[in-house]
Amino acid sequence: SRAKNAEFGDNAMDIDPAIIEIDSYIYRLQQIATEPQNSIPDVIIWMLCGNRRVAYHRIPSHQVMFSPKQDCCGKLCGHVFSVFLKRPSVPDKSNAKRQWKLPAKLQVFVWMGLEDHAKGIQHKPLDGEISVFAETYENQISLLSKWTTRAMPRPKWSDITGQLKLPKESFTTPGGWRWAGEWFINPNLSLSYDLDSGLSSFQDDVFENQLRVPGSDWPTSKLFWTDVTGEEAQSKEDIMCPAGWEWTDIWTVDLNRAVDEEGYEYCLDQSVGGFVPVEKTYHLCRRRRWVRTRKRNPDLRQQAAHQRMVRAAEEGWEYSRLFTTKFHLKQRTMDMVRRRRWHRKMVADNPDADAIFIIDPTSDAHESKEEKEGSRKDSTGGEKPFLPKVQAPRMFITFKEPHTYQLRAYIYQARDLFSADPSGLSDPYARVVFSRQSQRTKILNETLCPTWDQTLVFEEVEFYGNPTMLAESPPIVVVELFDYDTVGSDFLGRAIATPIVKLGGEHQMAKLNWHPITRGGEPAGELLGAFELYLNEGAELPFMPPTRGDVYQVPSGIRPVMQLTRIEVLTWGVRHMKKFQLAAVNSPSIEIECGGVVLSTIKIKNAKKNPNFDTSSMLFDVFLPVEELYTPPLNIRLLDHRSFGVKPLVGTHMIKSLQEYRRDPVAMVQTIREKMLESGFGDAEYAIDMDFADSAVEAAHQPPATSTSSEEGEFKEDVDWWSKYYSSSGNEQLGRVYREKGYENMVVFEEELENYFDNFTDLAQSFPLFHGKRHEDEDLDEDKAVGYFKGTFRVYPLPADGSDPPPRMLKNVPCNQLVEVLVRVYIVKAFELQPQDPNGLSDPYLALKLGRFKVKDRENYVPKNLSPTFGKMFELDGTLPLESELRVQIFDYDLLSGDDLIGETKIDLENRFLSARRGVCGLPKRYYVAGPYKWRDAELPRQILEKWCATQALPPPVWRGNSQVYVNGKTCCLRDYETRGQVHKDWGPPEERLALYTLLDLGLVPEHIETRTLYNPLRPEIPQGKIQIFVDIFPKSATIPPPINITPRAPQDLQLRVIVYNVQEVVLSDTSFTGEKMSDIYVKGWLKGQDKKQKTDVHYRSLNGEGNFNWRYVFPFKYLPAEEVMVIKKKEHFFSLDKHEEKHPVTFVCQIWDNDIFTPDDFLGLLELNLNFMPKANKFAKSASLDDLPDNEKGKPVPMVSLFDQKNVKGWWPMYEEGGPDQPRELTGKVEMELEILSKEDAEAKPAGKGQEEPNENPHLDPPNRPATSFLWFTSPWKSLRYIIWNNYKWYIIGGLVLLLIIAMIGLFIYSAPGALSTKLIAKL
């Protein structure tokens, strides 16, 4: 918290963060200030009409809750305040007048607290006495023209509702109370007020009626007089002016109604009604209205009030047709019932006693015996139990006499009112209501921002109570605004204000303030006024304000101080005009009104051909207040000139504050001159600084010290526009070469360009025009506008001494005629697009629209991509301002159905073209005249600087040689932007470079890429993705530079040739049946990302881990040198129609496997080489180890090489197998390879086959010199016998043969020995 407070203190100088922080604290306090589970109910004030609740007001209990601690009391506790009642039911929007009309305004004093605290309430601040009265009503009914109490629907004596019988004798004083006097008649004072109560002028009316029989003429002698309801009334000659009033004119016929030329209206029967202004033969009744105006005479006010009170107190009867309808004071023909109120005062002997009556229903002396007995029986005839009735008495605050005040309402002006007339304007007047009086201002015709400049004086305003308490809680003033119409008035809004109470001796003048106007809970404008309430009891009041005609003006001490002000208006044209009254707006003109002065433009002849005005700059002088708070609004009205002189008002716009457009040209020029003299420029336009200028020119023609021919060739290969883009976007890897060469980045804006340059409205703004003021049920969207006015304003004071006015500020504006332009739209890429296909992807393509010119790049859609890289440039021809809105759209390509719109963005080209910030072409940070980043604008920096000074009404730039320039009160030196020895050979002249640096310091649009959000009209509030673009706009009259090539980098066709010569120290994974360790070795290789794998032949029966192959791999691939990646295009699956593009690092993967026939092959070792960053090869096999790998376990640095730089690499690399989670790598062999990179042309010039196929050249590969033991056993049985069986078992075979021979010989001996012996024996015999 301390850190946050310290941070807040550090940022306290900036008002915006401070306001945000304060608002957050206020919000938190509001959340914890109200008890979420308040157990005390609110105080509700109801207004009843009969038995109906017609209005109410709810007061939160915590606002009136009392506490002994003053700081814990409710803010309204013990104060007199005003409340407005509202209707309990939901208002009907179709009945707007009922919705906006207030049921009542009350002045209340509320105290709520514990009963123990109530004993100490002091009512002295109210300056009145609290009196307690018993109350009952005497009721009578008219039968046969006589007033009687017989057959009444309610008791003779009752409460006000008639439901409780309250005879006088039934009242018994509570304990601790006693009567103070007898019963007396106390009529309801509210009924003593007539229709003219509270008004300073009133119009009496009476209707002259005539009857006829069918077919006869209207009689002139048989007349009778009625009021508007048809009740009989006095004739106009018998109507006398009431006391306190005086006539202002004579009786006249009211023709301002739907009547004929004599003022008559006709009907068939007066009782039926339905009067019409046209006479028919079947009409039997007609009438006309006579009116006469009277005004109140302040000298007779008190006398009239006294007479009214005496007349009301004579009998005190109130009359009505029924007991359930409204009562009135004067008896009428149809009245059938009457009543009067009786009171009897009580005083308390015990302050703690409760004032609750116990009513005995059997105590009515005037009730007959039968009635009493019947009232004691129930419906079955049995006796009812005695139930005493309880009633609370009436409590009043009585005052000796009221205090007299005078209210002065200073109504100066209003702004932003609703329109109530078909013309889109209103005829407003204000009615000020205070206490029981009301007055109104004069009527101003055809305006939404009226200036009345009128003071309304309310004389003899009476208030009861202590003036000091009234000063603490002043009564509110209600100002209601209406639109005057011939028949009725339309309600425009209501403002609430609090007057400044002056009890005497205060000399501080009131200040005008803006009071919000509301209608139906919605903003309806603002009222500028002030209110003063003077205590008029002998103190000397200020002099009355000066008069203008018959009205008082706002006095000079309160009226704003005026000064002669000049308003220059740039009336550029109108845009996007919609149809009005079913017709196109073809010939519009503009009226500019401020302070009562109206400036009109010449109408546009044909808005479709040229929506600009012929005269773009106008001015007028007007007296405006010095303080901006009191400045009247500036109103823009658009009229359409149509046939027969008809000029309907199409739309209006109101500018509340002119602060944005205020300038002081005299101070600006004086400041610039003073700074020029301080800088030493004086009046000299050219002065040459020879030393620096010569050195800069010489350095400009010298080649850079770091530039070589090899670097120039490498530059052409490695650096392009995309290098600049990647470096500016923060891509460290892809922008590395660009940064190493020392080039400057451009600006990548994360939002629309307009958000950073005030929508380019420095020259002309677009003001939406509305037909009248938007109502609360309308959206605040500018789509409701009927069109736009394009222009701007300059407001500055004129010299008070009458000297020459300052030079005009809008004199060097561009030509407002039609301009043909060439628009170049560079679309870099899009990202975060919303998927449109079921697979969660999209096939986006671009579409552009400028006026009638449309471009669709449908054939170049990007398949299955939500972040496509387009790299497209489109050239569009347009005419400003007819074709000023550029739409960039992205569609989703669909083969069978219609293409779906993903999103679009709109760009106002005219604002960019007109703006002095030059949104037409971004300014780079360096001025190059050659190379890949050559100057691409149609104008040179120095020309742009001079034109900018002219449009800003500034003196032209003052040059000192080509190394210093003075612009806009600032001296710019070339040495501040460039240090000696860093001049690039492609830079332009020094004066152009300095002008470019100066322009960038002045805030002109830099070279950039803007990121625009895409929206779909079907979902206008939801972003559908983003797109990065930049737009160049060139007038066709200028020399148009060539476009920039932002085409995505095309990969080069390269070929990787890998020759696997030998392997050594390969682990022997198999064991022969003779028990020997051996492996059938072969080597597999491929480029990671490609599916095609190649492998060598098999070196069988490797007994020592050696293998000989002399085998060639050939891998063609596409390569992006700038990004150092390999590009692969392939289908996602067999049925895919399109190939998608993938980018992978160029990584060669080499693996050693053991070949098996009947079981899967065994993996022996792995080697991965990133061809851009690979470990250097070893010359000898014994030198290769795991330490040669870049991610070796020892962290030993390893020399790395790039195959793309060396083109050919040959040597030995270790092969390894990854161990387990906690096991180190294991060396599983070593491989001797030769890797070579060739371009497509070199590969065609030096052909080579795969393996040892033809053409076996470049280089020629001899068959591998393998040992005789390398063969597959079941394909070479004799070799198997020789090299496997004989070599391993020859001694066993020889021994076996010898043994067999011996056994054979022994067997032969045994077999032949007996015969031989027998033969020999026989021979001897």
In tens, the pLDDT along 746-778 reads 999 999 999 999 889 888 899 999 886 554 444
Region 293-305 average pLDDT: 69
551-565, 681-695, 946-960: which has the minimum mean pLDDT?
681-695
Give the tens place of pLDDT for each residue, 99-115. Answer: 678 888 888 888 888 87
* Spatial distance between the Cα atoms of 323 and 162, rounded to a whole number of angstroms: 8
- The pLDDT-based confidence of 1178 (bands split at 50, 70, 90) is very high
Weakest mean pLDDT among 461-465, 567-571, 1197-1201, 1213-1217:
461-465
Q: Is the pLDDT of residue 507 over 90?
A: no
Structure confidence at residue 1250 (pLDDT): 92
Q: In this predicted structure, what is the pLDDT of residue 896?
A: 84
pTM for the full predicted model: 0.69
More confident residue, 1039 or 310: 1039
User: What is the predicted pLDDT for the residue at 1170?
Assistant: 93
CA-nearest of 571, 584, 582, 569 to 640 is 584
For 1107-1128, the pLDDT digits (tens) are 999 999 999 999 988 888 899 8
pLDDT surpasses 70 at 59: yes
- Report the pLDDT averaged over residues 669-674: 59
- Is pLDDT at 384 greater than 70 in this prediction? no
Picking from 1016, 1071, 747, 732, the residue whose alpha carbon sits closest to that of residue 900 is 1016
Q: What gap in Å lies between CA 410 and CA 560, rounded to an integer?
A: 12
Residues in CB range of 773: below 8 A, 6 or more apart:
416, 417, 418, 419, 448, 524, 525
Least trusted range by pLDDT, from 329-338, 1026-1035, 1248-1257, 1287-1296: 1287-1296
Residue bearing tokens 């070593």: 1230
pLDDT band at 900 (very low <50, low <70, confident <90, very high): very high
Task: Report the amino acid identity of residue 207.
Answer: F
pLDDT grade for 120, boundaries at 50, 70 and 90: low
pLDDT of residue 103: 86
> Is the pLDDT confidence value at 2 over 80?
no
- Write down the pLDDT at residue 1: 47
* Contact by Cβ (8 Å): 64, 77: yes
Task: Report pLDDT for 710.
Answer: 36
Confirm if 1260 and 1234 have CB atoms less than 8 A apart: no
pLDDT, tens digit, 9 for 90 and up, residues 990-1044 = 999 999 999 999 989 999 999 999 999 998 889 999 999 999 999 999 889 999 9
For residue 249, pLDDT beyond 60: yes
β strands within 626-666, DSSP E:
634-640, 649-655
Task: Summarize the confidence of residues 587-605 as an average pLDDT.
Answer: 91
Q: Say if CB 465 and CB 399 are below 8 A apart.
A: yes
Mean pLDDT of the chain: 83
- 177-201 per-position pLDDT tens digit: 888 889 988 887 666 666 777 677 8
* Alpha carbon of residue 86 to chain centroid: 33
pLDDT at 315 over 60: yes
Q: Which residues pair with 165 in a beta bridge?
A: 158
Q: Which comes out higher in pLDDT, residue 1177 or 190?
A: 1177
Q: Is the pLDDT of residue 633 over 50?
A: yes
pLDDT at 799: 87
The pLDDT confidence band at residue 256, using thresholds 50, 70 and 90, is confident
pLDDT at 703: 39
**186 vs 454 pLDDT, higher one:** 454
pLDDT bin (cut points 50, 70, 90) of residue 470 is: confident
Collapsing DSSP states into helix, strand and coil, what is residue 423? coil
Query: Dihedral through CA 762, CA 764, CA 770, CA 775, nearest 10?
Result: 0
Mean per-residue pLDDT, 901-911 = 93
Tell whether the model's pLDDT for residue 303 goes beyond 50: yes
Judged against a pLDDT cut of 80, whether residue 461 lies above it is answered with yes
Mean pLDDT of 329-337: 83
Q: Which of 232-236, 453-457, 675-679, 1232-1236 has the lowest mean pLDDT?
A: 675-679
461-470, 629-638, 671-680, 790-799: least confidently modelled range: 671-680
Q: How confident is the model at residue 683 (pLDDT cuts 50, 70, 90)?
A: very low
> What average pLDDT score do residues 1296-1316 get?
86
User: Both tokens of residue 572?
Assistant: 């550029």
Q: Is the pLDDT of residue 692 over 50?
A: no
Torsion angle of C-alpha atoms 1106, 1107, 1112, 1116, degrees rounded to 10: -70
Helix (H, G, I), strand (E, B) or coil at 719: coil
pLDDT value of residue 97: 59
Nearest to 696 by CA among 942, 981, 486, 286: 981
**pLDDT score at 428:** 92
Mean pLDDT value of segment 1125-1146: 82
Please give the pLDDT value at position 1202. Answer: 92
Say which residues have a Cβ less than 8 Å from residue 460's Cβ, sequence separation at least 6.
298, 301, 302, 404, 406, 536
418-433 average pLDDT score: 86
pLDDT at 712: 37
When pLDDT is cut at 50, 70 and 90, the band that residue 383 belongs to is low
Least confident of 229-233, 279-283, 472-476, 633-637: 229-233
pLDDT of residue 775: 47
Give how far Cα 1294 sits from Cα of 283, 1286, 1291, Å: 154, 10, 5
3-state secondary structure of 77: coil
Of 124-133, 592-601, 1218-1227, which has the strongest mean pLDDT?
592-601
- Which residue, 430, 413, 447, is CA-closest to 772? 447
Please report, rounded to a whole number, the percentage of residues in the chain having pLDDT higher than 90: 36
pLDDT band at 694 (very low <50, low <70, confident <90, very high): very low
Average pLDDT over residues 614-630: 89
Nearest to 62 by CA among 76, 81, 50: 76
Contacts of 341 (CB under 8 A, 6+ apart): 135, 136, 137, 185, 186, 187, 188, 316, 318
- At 325, the pLDDT band (50, 70, 90 cuts) reads confident
Q: Would you say residue 378 has pLDDT above 60?
A: no
**For the chain, percent of residues with pLDDT exceeding 70:** 85
How far is the C-alpha of 1089 from the C-alpha of 791, rounded, in Å? 59
Mean pLDDT of 331-335: 81
